[in-house]
Amino acid sequence: MVDSTRSNVAGYRLATLKKAYAERLESEFRKLEALADRLDEPPSRNDTLHEMHRALHTIAGAAGTFGFHLLGQKARELEQLVAKDLTEPGEKTLIPVAWFTELKEALAAHNREQSTETVKASQQTIIDGSPCIWLVERDDILAGYAQSQLTSFGFQVFHLDAGDLKTTDHPAPDLLLIDHHAVQGDVTERQSFWQTLLEDVGCPIFFMGAEESFNARLQAFRAGGQGYFVKPLDMIKLASHISQIIRTDDHEPGRILIIEDDRELAMYFQSTLEQAGMQVAVLDQADQLFETVSEFSPELVLMDLRLPDVTGAELAGLLGQSERWAHLPVVYISAESNSRLRNQALLQGGDAFLEKPVDTGILVRLCLTRIRKLRELERTRNRDSLTGLLKHANIKEALQLQWKLAQRRPQTFGVVMLDIDHFKTVNDTYGHVVGDTVIAAAGTLLRQHFRITDKLGRYGGEEFTLVLPDCDADQAWQLVDRLRKDFADIKFVGNGEPFSCTLSAGVADNRQCPSDTAEALLEKADQALYRAKHAGRNRVVSASGLTGVRPG
C-alpha cells in the first residue's frame, strides 16, 4: 500500500475547496431564483436577463472543473436559453423555477456519483528547476483547486491578481495562465488591457474562459494568447499541454547547417546566427553531406545555389530522397538572377530564396520561423497524442541514433523500460477513460522529471522507453526511482473511490554492455523490467543487479 502524509494533506485541501464551492453554489442558486422572480417586471427584464446570463455562465465554466459535470452541463443549457432570449427579444422564453430545481438535482446527482475523470492532487516534492506558472483567476476557490492540481505534477504555481503581474517578486514565469475575464469591461477594453499588460512578456500565455466560440478565441489571440482553454478545465489535459509547451525543445538553440564555399561569407552568416542564439555548423565539402547531417542533425540548411562540382538544388534533392531528412527546410542564398534556375531549384526541394547581399535581420527571422514550424510538424507527426511523448517508432529511432553517436564519439547513455503495474486491472475496474488519465499523468510526470535532451517515448499501451544521454545506469536508477515514488503518491479517483498506481522499471547503459547493439541494450532493460515485475513490482531494477523498492 502507498502511505503518504503529503497525499493526505493535499486530499484534505481539495476536499475543503470542493466543499467551499458547493456552499457557494447554494448562494448562486438563491440569486438565480431571485432574478427569476424579477423577470415579470418589464422595464428591468433585459437587465435581469443579463445578470442571469452572467451567473449561469460562471457556473457553467467553473462547476465542471471541480468535477460537478452534470451541473455544469445543465447550467450551460440554461445559459444558452437565456442568451436566445437576449438575442431574440421578440421571443419571450419562459424561465420557470423548475430550472433551478434541475440545477440542484444535478448537484445532488454529483454527490451520489462522483466523476471518474478527476485526479486528486498530491503534494509532490517540487523538483529543482520546476517550471513556474503564474495563475490569474478571479475565482479564488477555482484558483486554489487549479493550483493544487497543477502542483501535483511538479509545477510551481503562484496565484496573482492581474494588477500584480508587473510588481510581483515571484520567480520569473515559464507560462502565464489567465482567466480572460479577470478584468471587467467590454471586449475592446479587455483586449486593450491585456495587450498593454502583456506586451513585454517573454513566456507563453494561455487564456481560460467559459465561452467556446470563434470570437472568444479570437479575442484571446488578439490579447496575446498562444492558447485558449475552455472551462470547465480538464486538469489532466491542461497539465499535459502545459508540460509539453514548457518542456519542449523550443528552449534549445536552433541548429543551422551552412553549406557555402565562400569561407568569409560562411563565417559572417555563422557569427550572425550564433549571435541570435542559434547553433551553427559550416560545411564546405559537399561529399561529407550525409555524415554531417547525421552527426549535427540540423533543423535548417542554408546554402549557396552554386557550389563547386554540384548545385544546391542537387544537394536538396539528395536530402529529399532520405526519409529522415525529407522535411528538412532548405533556404538558398544566391545572387542568381535567372528565374528559370531559381524556380527549378525550388521545385527540387528548396523552401525559400535569399538574395545576396543578404539582409541579416530577415535571415535571422526566417531561420527562427522555419525551425519553429519544423518543430511543430515534428511534434505532431512523431508524438503520441495522449502523453505528448515520442511514438513507438520514433523512440526506437532515437535509441538507434544515440547508439550510433556513441560509436563515433564515446559517450555513456542509459536506456530505461518502465510500465504501470496492474494496468489491466485499472481499465477493468474503472474503465478506459480513467485508464487514459493514468497514462497521461505518467507522461506528464516523465516530462517533468527528465531533461529536454532526454528522449522519452510511449513504447506501447502502458509501457514507456527512455533514452538518457550522458547518464549511466546508476544515475538512471536514481532518477527513475524518484519518478516511481512521486507517481505512487498521486491519488486518482474512479467510481467515486480513490486509488493509487505504481511503476516498475528496468535500466541499462552502454558502458555495462559495450559490445551490445541498440536493440540488445533495449532487451537488457526489458529483462530488468521483467525481473522487477517478478520480484513484486513497484521497484526499479538495473541490468547490473541494483534493485530498489519503496517500503510500504
Element (H, E) at 228: strand 227-230
**How does residue 245 score in pLDDT terms, banded at 50, 70 and 90?**
confident
- Tell me the mean pLDDT in the region 317-327: 83
Burial grade of 518 (CB within 10 A; 0-12, 13-18, 19 or more): buried
Judged against a pLDDT cut of 50, whether residue 138 lies above it is answered with: yes
Task: Please report, to the nearest 10 degrees, the dihedral formed by the alpha carbons of residues 129, 134, 139, 143 taken in order.
Answer: -10
Q: Residue 441 sits in a domain of what CATH number?
A: 3.30.70.270
| Cell numbers 503534494: residue | 123
Last-in-domain residue among 350, 380, 410: 380
Q: Which residues pair with 455 in a beta bridge?
A: 467
Q: How many residues does the structure list for the chain?
A: 552
- pTM > 0.85: yes or no: no
* In a shared domain, residues 415 and 534: yes
Phi, psi of 351 (to 5 degrees): -110, -30
Cβ neighbours around 31 below 10 Å, total: 14
Beta strands in 123-197 (DSSP E): 132-136, 156-160, 175-179
Judged against a pLDDT cut of 60, whether residue 87 lies above it is answered with: yes
pLDDT of residue 1: 31
Determine, yes or no, domain membership for 414.
yes
* In a shared domain, residues 540 and 457: yes
Please tell me the distance from the alpha carbon of residue 272 to that of residue 302, in angstroms, as a whole number: 13
Determine, yes or no, domain membership for 119.
no
**How does residue 476 score in pLDDT terms, banded at 50, 70 and 90?**
very high
Least confident of 88-92, 196-200, 288-292, 312-316: 88-92
Cβ neighbours around 322 below 10 Å, total: 12
| Cell numbers 472568444: residue | 216
Cβ neighbours around 378 below 10 Å, total: 15
Please tell me the distance from the alpha carbon of residue 446 to that of residue 417, in angstroms, as a whole number: 12
pLDDT of residue 252: 75
* In a shared domain, residues 154 and 259: no
209 with 177: CB under 8 angstroms? no
Instruction: Identify the top-confidence range among 97-106, 264-273, 310-319.
Output: 264-273
* In a shared domain, residues 129 and 106: no
Determine, yes or no, domain membership for 118.
no
Determine, yes or no, domain membership for 385.
no
* In a shared domain, residues 399 and 530: yes
* In a shared domain, residues 185 and 322: no
Last-in-domain residue among 380, 404, 430: 380
Q: Which of 211, 213, 132 is nearest to 179 (CA)?
A: 211
pLDDT of residue 502: 95
Q: Which domain holds residue 85?
A: 5-112
Please tell me the distance from the alpha carbon of residue 218 to that of residue 258, in angstroms, as a whole number: 39
Determine, yes or no, domain membership for 339.
yes
Q: Residue 26 sits in a domain of what CATH number?
A: 1.20.120
Tens-place pLDDT, residues 196-244: 888 888 788 999 888 888 888 888 888 888 889 888 777 777 887 787 7
Which residues does 343 contact at the CB level (< 8 Å), separation at least 6?
none
Q: Which of 314, 319, 271, 318 is nearest to 298 (CA)?
A: 319
Instruction: Identify the top-confidence range among 21-35, 349-363, 391-405.
Output: 391-405
* In a shared domain, residues 405 and 540: yes
Q: Which residues pair with 310 in a beta bridge?
A: 307
